Amino acid sequence: MTTLLAFLHHAGAFALVAALTAELVLLRSELTLRSARRLQVADMMVGLSAMTALAAGLVRVFHFEKGAAYYFHSWPFLGKLGLFILLALLSIYPTLVFAAWGKAMRRGEAPDFEPGRLRKVRAIVHTELAGIVLIVLFAAMMARGVGFFG
């Protein structure tokens, strides 16, 4: 079970990076009805993969590995969890933007992506990817109970 949870946790994390990268690529090209649909699917994958990483992570904290007391006394773990929550809150904005496209898309039209909104969504996806790099650093530190060079 420990191995299965570690697998699910890592699979969720890798899928999250893949889905965010797909979003970034789609956001770089001209928005068409087809790319808008793909963005909505990629955003759904972002949500699903983040939930998988979170659920497997929580089960590992409370039922496997080193025990909840260890993790809640580990600043890299608290940093990792805090950053994860912050990124989850940030991701609400792109999801709302993509969800608002529904009406135009049902009429068979490419949605209107106002430039200011597009810039904001791109900046958020970049921030999420950079945040995940930091989360992986925190993960390595908390797993070993060490500082940067320990």
Asked whether the CA dihedral 56, 58, 61, 62 is positive or negative, the reply is negative
Which among 13, 85, 80 is positioned nearest to 46, based on CA atoms? 13
Contact string (CB under 6 A) for ligand HEM, positions 86-125, x = contact? ----------------------------------------
Contact call for residues 111 and 99 (beta carbons, < 8 A): no
To ligand HEM, the closest distance from the beta carbon of 115 in angstroms equals 29
Nearer to ligand HEM, 39 or 142 (CB): 142
Phi and psi at residue 49, to the nearest 5°: -70, -40
Answer yes or no whether residue 45 interacts with ligand HEM by CB under 6 A. Answer: no
Question: Counting contacts by CB under 6 A, is residue 61 touching ligand HEM?
Answer: yes
Kindly state the smallest distance separating residue 17's Cβ from ligand HEM, in Å.
7
Beta carbon nearer to ligand HEM, 31 or 139: 139
What is the radius of gyration, based on Cα positions, of the chain? 18
